[in-house]
Amino acid sequence: MDLITVREIRVASTRDEVVFAPGERPLGGGTWLFSEQQDGLTGLVDLTGLGWPSVTETDTALSIAATCTIAELSRLTPLVLRTGERGPSRGSQGGSPLFWQCANSLLASFKIWNVATVGGNLCVSLPAGSMTSLSAALDAEAVIWTTDGGERRVPVADFVTDVQSNVLAPGEVLRSIEIPRPSLTSRTGFRRIALSPLGRTGTLVIARLDATGEVVFTITGGTRRPVQLRFDELPNARALEQSVLAIGEWYSDAHGASDWRRAMSALLADELRIELEGIA
Amino acid sequence: MRFSINGEPVEIEPEPGRVLRTVLRDLEHFEVKKGCDAGDCGACSVLLDGEPIHSCIYPAHRLEGAEITTVAGLGTPDAPHPLQRSFVDAAGFQCGFCTAGMIVTASTFTEEDREDLPRLLKGNLCRCTGYRSIGDAIHGVSNTESAVAGEAIGKSVTAPAGMRVATGREEYTLDLKTTALLHLAVLKSPYAHARILSIDTTAALALDGVHLVLTHRDSPSTLFSTGRHEHRTDDPDDTLVLDPVLRFRGQRVAAVVAETVAIAERALSLISVDYEELPAVFDPELARSPGAPLLHPDKGDEQRVAAADRNTVAEMHGETGDVDAAIAAADAVVTGTWRTQRVSHAALETHATRGWLDAEGRLVLRTSSQVPYLVRDELCHIFGLSSDAVRVFTARVGGGFGGKQELLTEDLVTLAVLSTGRPVQYEFTREDEFTVASPRHPMRVSVTLGASRDGTLTAMAVDQLMDTGAYGNHGIGVMYHSVHESVSVYRCENKRVDAQSVYTNNLPSGAFRGYGLGQVIFAIESAMDELARELDIDPFQLRRLNAIVPGDTMVVVDPNEKSDLLIGSYGLDQCLDLAQSALERGNSVETPAGPTWSSGTGMAISMIATVAPRGHFADASVTLLADGDYDLAVGTAEFGNGTTTVHAQLVATALNTTVDRMQIRQSDTDAVRYDTGAFASAGVVVAGRALLAAAGALGELMLERAYSMTGEHGRIVDGGVQTRSGLVTASELLEAGPLTADGSHDGTPRSVAFNVHAFRVAVDSATGEVRILQSIQAADAGTVLNPEQLRGQIEGGTAQAIGTALYEEMTLDGEGRVTTTAFRNYHVPQFADIPETEVYFASTFDGLGPLGAKSMSEAPYNPVAPALANAIRDALGVRPHELPMSRDRLWRLAGDGWREPSS
């Protein structure tokens, strides 16, 4: 929708131009910003003109620019793995199905993916933001441009602090997320449930079994912010259930009541435990 | 900046904050629709450099060098894109407002993608069809046929507007350019109940571009109701255009008229208002209790408010026989309390009106309405205008479902046009649709049934309480209708009905497909299912034993009630047989494997009157044109109901010609003398009969004219009158003067239509997930005039009802604040949510309908929720009492065993 309070949009082409007056915010794809009236918003600084390469590989990480579109990210999953949501757990040899699974976890259709960005999804910081699910589950780091011209790093699992709330200080910009290579070679399992077959996420659980034997369950959607449960080895059913049920901050909205989300998280986590047990 | 639209270069400098959709529509690319304005519905889909995007959330400042393709750029009526052709041939649309976006999106699909439609179409909502026909269109399946002269009836001919809709040429309400147009925006009440102490508009008026600020000081003092009926006295006079007392959050406080929507909205924040907050009540049980804050204490009989001192706009209490004694004597008794939620119509075209003064100074309103004549008459009443001083008309309406049997935008536009002399537009946002427009009435329905061991129903008690909200629009009619055909479909010696329609400080409820029946039928048919279990009688058989048959009187609580409602044809027996045999036949869809899945079956019936009571009037005329075409003038509106198609079929058949000869003018107070409007499913059975009468009369005139010219008796053929010595052509017939005839119908007596729905479902007790394995609906619509359209109406009604039953819920925060204000938080069924429904037709001929037909627009909705609830009960072993039967609710039910739902 037209943002009637916006008086100026600047397209930044260098970091020097990434500066914000009061009432101004960074603009990624815009698919969320332009979907609701934004009270008090007077200007936007468009980051998509900065020319950040969408995906960069380093020795230690896969770096995904904040301006990488969801469509580009989804294609990081090889064609053969782009199947239904509940695909089998797979390791790195054939690539990760998670990019595709998490893109399809968005309420937004593939048309939105052509414009929406990974960073935008993280920065909106909704519980159902599945780019948060993806990057938190893979222990990715958020690279943040600070206002003094430097940068700082935060685990994505800590980036979102509550519903539509995150660690970005005024003037800070999310530059990229960096997924450590070991996470990409881990086995993962994915489960999601919503109130309708393709509805907005009620809860989303990703399990990751590292080469070290460590197992990480990451819960998003059902909770107000990402919650990670780490185990040195695959936990038994009771231990896992207790850990999930002990989580304090279940979310309740039009996409599911909190008691159901809590129970579904435990159920899905257990399904993943059994799945990983078969592999381990 | 420079970019191109459908290959045409354009150069513009969009204002900051503008989206592509606004830019396109400003450039008169009206084929790009505004449905949700939030990226959720897909009606605005276009191609950007070949990739599909939602143009309503695409920032326009990025357009430099872009190539934009809209549905109009994909093809034209003369050279359509293959998908445009196949959407027409498949009958892949009803109102058509989603069609442009559907076609643009589907135009990017590969062969492989076509097997992945549920996922790929989740960003394209259709509120009308139920998606089966859209899937057919994308797969190239044709469901329509042509008809030779005189044989259109019973054929699945295509909608006359089909190719225009598919190529983006068909105009909807706001799809036209008006120069010097002003826009209206509304300041809404921040309180659920308050009085305006003072209001200062000085600063708003001073803003550059603001032309007018309207407050309650400018409002006519005539009370009215936004709900519209043939008789204005059917609804309470409890509403003002602008009222100094605010009774729900979102009610109009003031309106700004300005050069642009943006200026008007900015000016709203400059209006300074002092409010006195008043105590409010949000629960109808509390609202009718002593001591509750009163919403309309000053209203009474004169305004048709039953008991203002208990916030009760209408109530009904009646009994026939002795229900308590019958229950005491019954072999089996079941009782329960069911609750239904608020549901949004979610028509993809929002309410909107554009008004202006024509060259003669007459007020002209182009509006998204089902009832242009009723709107005109009420505006004349409110503003003291004569009916020849006002013209109200519609273009094609982008969905209605009852939501546009309501005067929600026209009155403010009238006030603004009369005040400024300028053209003015007022368009609802999607948020307005959720917070201001009138949803389905939420109800609490308690039912007690008693029966003898042989299955004879001996007692039926229904206690209904509905929340009409802050105003009583449709709050009387819905209450009476809700307990009418739902109760009178059963023969039972002892019946008691208590019903109350109660004011609260929630948003006003209104008319919605089924008009209250769906809510009460959910309760009664659930109770009947429980009774069948109690008696161990097959649920189909229990209905056969107790439902009315020809010769029975339809009784609510007064066996001696005078009524024009008759059983003009009876197909319930066939519907029961058709649905039962289809359920027994089954299909190949299996219950998912796993210990937590179980399956079950369920069914329910419904009956509905074919016309609204107390008169529904239609005038029509048919005129012969020189080339052998016919001009049809009819008052009723087309909003996806398909009446226009059927009107063409009726007249083409009566005049022994083809449907392409029909030129139809409709839904315009200038078109004919009068038409009550397109509600209560009356478009075919009332306006259709008026047209048939006109066509018959015109045929007589043509034969007389031919006889006077040739001295021979002829017969009507395509192009003129055939006599023994040759064809007298239309132009020859017209040499002696025009040939035109009028017809009318008064909507009485009325008949009843029947529907039976059956489901086989699987339910996962671990998650609450429901999978519909088989869905069946059998309908008694009398003569089937257009099988594919009728199938589409039944599928669409079923899909809406599945939405109500499983997914849709407007939530309020307990203080009158709607918390679901966008499609992303209010789940309108997507392609993935709707199973294919097997549709069966009874074979009956109705003595009261046109060529034996009965109406079938609202009816298919009504039996679906209880049939689904009964199937879920069968699978889960626990009965749901509350809609929607969402996964979280069913999961709780499965875990806790039987319990009363929380309120």
Taking the C-alpha atoms of residue A212 and residue B209, their distance in angstroms, rounded to an integer, is 67
Kindly report the number of other CB atoms within 10 A of residue A64's CB atom.
28
Which residues share a beta bridge with A189?
Answer: A207
A271, pLDDT greater than 80: yes
Interface check B286 vs A, CB under 8 A: no
Query: Which of B39, B120, B832 has its CB closest to that of A112?
Result: B39
How would residue A202 be classed by pLDDT, with cut points 50, 70 and 90?
very high
Query: Which chain B residues have a beta carbon less than 8 Å from that of A9?
Result: 16-17, 59, 61
- Taking Cα atoms as reference points, which of A180, A238, A237, A254 lies closest to residue A210? A180
Tokens of residue B234, six digits: 């059917």
Taking the C-alpha atoms of residue B226 and residue B221, their distance in angstroms, rounded to an integer, is 15
Average pLDDT over residues B779-797: 97
Query: Which of B59, B833, B887 has its CB closest to that of A30?
Result: B59
Class of domain B618-675+687-745: alpha beta
CATH number attached to the domain at B182-278+350-397+404-435: 3.90.1170.50
Interface check B66 vs A, CB under 8 A: no
| Cβ neighbours of residue B42 closer than 8 Å, sequence gap 6 or more | A109, A111, B35, B54, B98, B101, B102, B105, B123, B124, B125
Domain layout of chain B by residue ranges? 2-166, 182-278+350-397+404-435, 443-612+750-896, 618-675+687-745
Please give the model's pTM, rounded to 2 decimal places: 0.97
Q: What's the ipTM?
A: 0.96
Taking the C-alpha atoms of residue B604 and residue B576, their distance in angstroms, rounded to an integer, is 9
Percent of chain B with pLDDT over 90: 98
Tokens of residue A222, six digits: 């059902």
Check: CB of residue A105 under 8 Å from CB of residue A85: yes
B896, pLDDT greater than 90: no
The pLDDT value recorded for residue B697 is 98
Residue corresponding to tokens 């996806």: B640
Helix orientation angle between A258-279 and A237-245, rounded to the nearest 10 degrees: 150
- Taking Cα atoms as reference points, which of B248, B253, B281 lies closest to residue B268? B253
Whether residues B17 and A112 touch (CB distance < 8 A) is answered with: no
Query: Closest approach of chain A CAs to the CA of B59, in angstroms?
Result: 7
Whether residues A108 and B39 touch (CB distance < 8 A) is answered with: yes
Query: Which of B16, B57, B892 has its CB closest to that of A7?
Result: B16
Using one digit for the tens of pLDDT, what is the confidence trace for B97-117? 999 999 999 999 999 999 999
CA dihedral B521→B524→B528→B534, nearest 10 degrees, is 150
Taking the C-alpha atoms of residue B858 and residue B794, their distance in angstroms, rounded to an integer, is 9
DSSP H or E segment with residue A216: strand A215-220
The pLDDT value recorded for residue B680 is 77
Query: Which chain B residues have a beta carbon less than 8 Å from that of A7?
Result: 16-17
Check: CB of residue A159 under 8 Å from CB of residue A137: no
Q: Per-residue DSSP letters for B404-441?
A: TSB-SSHHHHHHHHHHHSS-EEEE--HHHHHHTS--BP
DSSP H or E segment with residue B183: strand B182-188
Distances (CA, A) of A1 to A50, B28, B38, B602: 25, 18, 6, 44
Please say whether the dihedral angle defined by the alpha carbons of residues B242, B247, B251 and B256, taken in this order, is positive or negative: positive
Taking the C-alpha atoms of residue B243 and residue B221, their distance in angstroms, rounded to an integer, is 9
- Strands of B662-666's sheet, edge to edge? B662-666, B630-634, B618-624, B740-745
Record: fold of B443-612+750-896? Aldehyde Oxidoreductase; domain 4 (3.30.365)
Whether residues B59 and A5 touch (CB distance < 8 A) is answered with: no
Query: Which chain A residues have a beta carbon less than 8 Å from that of B827?
Result: 195-196, 199, 254
How would residue B605 be classed by pLDDT, with cut points 50, 70 and 90?
very high
Query: Which of A34, A257, A261 has its CB closest to that of B59?
Result: A34
Average pLDDT over residues A123-149: 97
Tokens of residue A215, six digits: 């197992």
Query: Which chain B residues have a beta carbon less than 8 Å from that of A5?
Result: 17, 266
Which residues share a beta bridge with B227?
Answer: B406
Residue corresponding to tokens 């990715």: A140
Taking the C-alpha atoms of residue B303 and residue B238, their distance in angstroms, rounded to an integer, is 7
Using one digit for the tens of pLDDT, what is the confidence trace for B248-282? 999 999 999 999 999 999 999 999 999 999 999 99
DSSP H or E segment with residue B778: strand B770-780
The pLDDT value recorded for residue A92 is 46
Check: CB of residue B501 under 8 Å from CB of residue B430: no
The pLDDT value recorded for residue B899 is 35
Query: Which chain A residues have a beta carbon less than 8 Å from that of B118?
Result: 197-198
Chain centroid to CA B556: how far?
Answer: 26
Query: Which of B54, B119, B767 has its CB closest to that of A264?
Result: B767
Average pLDDT over residues A251-264: 97
Residue corresponding to tokens 């207790």: A242
Using one digit for the tens of pLDDT, what is the confidence trace for B608-645? 999 999 899 999 999 999 999 999 999 999 999 999 99
How would residue B447 be classed by pLDDT, with cut points 50, 70 and 90?
very high
Query: Closest approach of chain A CAs to the CA of B887, in angstroms?
Result: 6
Tokens of residue B550, six digits: 């020809």
Whether residues B18 and A2 touch (CB distance < 8 A) is answered with: yes
Check: CB of residue B219 under 8 Å from CB of residue B243: yes
Taking the C-alpha atoms of residue B598 and residue A84, their distance in angstroms, rounded to an integer, is 23
Using one digit for the tens of pLDDT, what is the confidence trace for B655-676? 999 999 999 999 999 999 999 9
Average pLDDT over residues B30-37: 98
Indicate the average pLDDT of chain B: 97
User: Kind of pairing, strands B630-634 and B662-666?
Assistant: parallel
**Per-residue H/E/C for A109-150:** CHHHHCCCEHHHHHHHCCCCCHHHHHHHHCCCEEEEECCCCC
Which residue from B minimizes the CA distance to A47?
B62
Which of A7, A110, A268 best tests the B interface by mutation, with the highest count of B CBs <10 A? A110
- Taking Cα atoms as reference points, which of B454, B439, B445 lies closest to residue B401? B439
Query: Closest approach of chain B CAs to the CA of A9, in angstroms?
Result: 6
Query: Which chain B residues have a beta carbon less than 8 Å from that of A44?
Result: 16-17, 59
Kindly report the number of other CB atoms within 10 A of residue B240's CB atom.
18
Kindly report the number of other CB atoms within 10 A of residue A238's CB atom.
9
B903, pLDDT greater than 60: no
Taking the C-alpha atoms of residue A205 and residue A266, their distance in angstroms, rounded to an integer, is 9
CATH 3.30.465.10 fits A50-182, yes or no: yes
Q: Per-residue DSSP letters for B710-764?
A: HSS--EEETTEEEETTEEEEHHHHGGGS--EEEEEE---SB-EEEEEEEEEEEEE
Whether residues A256 and B123 touch (CB distance < 8 A) is answered with: no
Whether residues A198 and B45 touch (CB distance < 8 A) is answered with: no
Please compute, for residue B368, the number of CA atoms within 13 A of its CA located in the half-sphere on the CB side: 29
Check: CB of residue B753 under 8 Å from CB of residue B781: yes
Tokens of residue B3, six digits: 């970019």
Whether residues A1 and B57 touch (CB distance < 8 A) is answered with: yes
Which residues share a beta bridge with B315?
Answer: B500
The pLDDT value recorded for residue B900 is 35
Helix orientation angle between B517-535 and B864-876, rounded to the nearest 10 degrees: 40
Query: Which of B19, B45, B825 has its CB closest to that of A111?
Result: B45
Using one digit for the tens of pLDDT, what is the confidence trace for B690-708? 999 999 999 999 999 999 9
Interface check B42 vs A, CB under 8 A: yes
Interface check B768 vs A, CB under 8 A: yes
The pLDDT value recorded for residue A249 is 87
How would residue A279 be classed by pLDDT, with cut points 50, 70 and 90?
confident
In total, the C-beta contacts within 8 angstroms joining chain A to chain B are 151
Phi first, then psi: what are they for B760, rounded to 5°?
A: -120, 125
Taking the C-alpha atoms of residue B709 and residue B729, their distance in angstroms, rounded to an integer, is 11
CA angle, A159 as apex, A156 and A162 as ends, to 5°? 130
Rg, C-alpha atoms of chain A: 18
Using one digit for the tens of pLDDT, what is the confidence trace for A48-103? 999 999 999 999 999 999 999 999 999 999 998 887 655 445 444 567 899 999 99
Which residue from A minimizes the CA distance to B19?
A2
User: Kind of pairing, strands B443-451 and B194-200?
Assistant: unpaired
Interface check A191 vs B, CB under 8 A: no
Distances (CA, A) of A224 to A65, A131, A196: 25, 15, 20
Using one digit for the tens of pLDDT, what is the confidence trace for B707-763? 999 999 999 999 999 999 999 999 999 999 999 999 999 999 999 999 999 999 999
Average pLDDT over residues A18-23: 97
Chain centroid to CA B615: how far?
Answer: 20
The pLDDT value recorded for residue B131 is 98
CATH number attached to the domain at A184-279: 3.30.390.50
Using one digit for the tens of pLDDT, what is the confidence trace for B501-549? 999 999 999 999 999 999 999 999 999 999 999 999 999 999 999 999 9
DSSP H or E segment with residue B518: helix B517-535
DSSP H or E segment with residue B8: strand B8-11
Whether residues B17 and A4 touch (CB distance < 8 A) is answered with: yes
Chain centroid to CA B537: how far?
Answer: 36
The pLDDT value recorded for residue B238 is 98
Using one digit for the tens of pLDDT, what is the confidence trace for B815-825? 999 999 999 99
The pLDDT value recorded for residue B26 is 97
Which residues share a beta bridge with B440?
Answer: B510
The pLDDT value recorded for residue A85 is 54
Domain layout of chain A by residue ranges? 8-49, 50-182, 184-279
Distances (CA, A) of B231 to B227, B228, B337, B681, B735: 11, 8, 34, 17, 43
Same fold, B182-278+350-397+404-435 and B618-675+687-745: no
CATH among 3.40.50.300, 1.10.240.10, 3.40.50.800, 3.10.20.30 for B2-166: 3.10.20.30
